[in-house]
Amino acid sequence: MSKIRQQRTAEQIQYILSDIFQRGLRDPRAAGVTITEVRIDRELQHVDVYVNALGDESREREVMAALRSAAGFLRHELAQRLPIRSVPQLHFRWDPSLAQAEAVHEILDSLALPPLPEEPPETDWDELDEEEV
């Protein structure tokens, strides 16, 4: 399978699953779940779906349990909406990148940097000799 078709299929799967999460999934444990990335293998047999509950890392276990229990329903819905011969197996993975980005942001905020000067001193480049440049 070409890389372009593989990428387009992954994008379609992400779009469809996002729609199902918003409208068709009734499990309250999966509320507020966001799909951050979808990776599909070359043979279209397995899909890694990376998810996160925005801003709430403590919900990882319950979200993953909800998605594992809904995997059959999600795969059935994909089969109805996705124009491919066989629907791949769904493997849900927790995406820690949002928590890592927040940790980096907190570290950057905690740095004690001196304030920048309001205006840099102006230099008249025409008056400088070649030696000074």
The per-residue pLDDT for range 71-118, each reduced to its tens digit, is: 999 999 999 999 888 899 999 999 887 777 777 888 888 887 777 777
Is the pLDDT at 126 greater than 70? The verdict is no
- Count structural domains, the chain: 1
Tokens of 53: 């509950």
What is the average pLDDT across 3-22?
A: 91
- Asked if residue 62 is part of any domain, the answer here is yes
Domain limits for position 14? 3-101
Give burial (CB, 10 Å; 0-12/13-18/19+) of 36. middle
- Asked if residue 28 is part of any domain, the answer here is yes
- Asked if residue 110 is part of any domain, the answer here is no
For the stretch 31-72, pLDDT in tens is 888 899 999 998 889 999 999 887 677 888 998 999 999 999
For residue 29, the domain's CATH number is 3.30.300.20
- pTM value > 0.75: no
- Asked if residue 113 is part of any domain, the answer here is no
- Asked if residue 107 is part of any domain, the answer here is no
- Asked if residue 17 is part of any domain, the answer here is yes
Q: What is the pLDDT of residue 73?
A: 92
Q: What is the pLDDT of residue 124?
A: 65
- Asked if residue 118 is part of any domain, the answer here is no
The helix/strand/coil state of 58 is helix
Cα(60)–Cα(29) distance, integer angstroms: 10
